[in-house]
Amino acid sequence: MAKQNTKTLKKEKRKGFNNLIFAREAGVLFALILLCLFLSIATEVFLGVRNLLNVGRQVSLLGIMAIGMTFILITGEIDLSIGATYALTGIITGMLLIRQYNLYFSIFVGLAIGVLIGFLNGVISTYGKLPSFITTLGMMSVVRGSALLITEGQPIAVNELSGADPIAVDKFYFLGQGRLFDVIPMQLIFLIIISIIGWLLLSKTVFGFKTYAVGGNKKAAHVSGIKVFNIKIWAFSILGFLSALSGILMVAFMPSTQGGRTGVGKELDVIAAVVVGGASLSGGEGTILGTVLGCFIIGVLRNGLVLMGISPFWQEFAIGAVIIVAVGIDMWTRNHRRR
Q: What's residue 214's pLDDT?
A: 92
Is it the case that residue 279 has pLDDT exceeding 90? no
Q: What's residue 70's pLDDT?
A: 95
Question: For the segment 82-98, what is each residue's pLDDT rounded down to a tens digit?
Answer: 999 999 999 999 999 99
Fold of 27-328: ABC transporter involved in vitamin B12 uptake, BtuC (1.10.3470)
Q: Between the CA of residue 125 and those of 13, 131, 224, 239, 311, what are the distances in Å?
A: 44, 6, 22, 14, 40
- If you average pLDDT over every residue of the chain, what do you get? 86
Burial of 255 (C-beta count, 10 Å sphere; 0-12/13-18/19+): buried
Question: For the segment 36-48, what is each residue's pLDDT rounded down to a tens digit?
Answer: 898 888 888 888 8
Question: What φ, ψ does residue 180 adopt, rounded to 5°?
Answer: -70, 130
When pLDDT is averaged across residues 249-276 and rounded to a whole number, the result is 87
Q: What percent of the chain has pLDDT over 90?
A: 50
Burial of 145 (C-beta count, 10 Å sphere; 0-12/13-18/19+): middle
Confidence class for position 218, pLDDT limits 50, 70, 90: confident
Q: How many H helices and E strands in the chain?
A: 14, 4
- Which residues, in sequence order, are CB contacts of 166 under 8 Å at separation 6+? 160
Is it the case that residue 137 has pLDDT exceeding 90? yes
Q: What's residue 245's pLDDT?
A: 96
Q: How far apart are CA 15 and CA 19, in angstroms?
A: 6
What percent helix, strand, coil does the chain show, rounded to 5?
75, 0, 20
Is the distance from CB of 274 to CB of 286 less than 8 angstroms? yes
> Of 93-97, 239-243, 278-282, 320-324, where does mean pLDDT reach its minimum?
320-324
Q: What's residue 310's pLDDT?
A: 81
Q: Between the CA of residue 186 and those of 182, 252, 255, 288, 339, what are the distances in Å?
A: 10, 11, 15, 20, 46
- Collapse the DSSP code of 201 into the 3-class scheme (helix H, G, I; strand E, B; otherwise coil) and give the result: helix
Is it the case that residue 158 has pLDDT exceeding 70? yes
DSSP assignment of 289-321: HHHHHHHHHHHHHHHHHHHTT--THHHHHHHHH
When pLDDT is averaged across residues 229-254 and rounded to a whole number, the result is 95
Q: What's residue 335's pLDDT?
A: 66
> Of 3-12, 23-32, 159-168, 256-265, where does mean pLDDT reach its minimum?
3-12
Greater pLDDT, 333 or 188 = 188
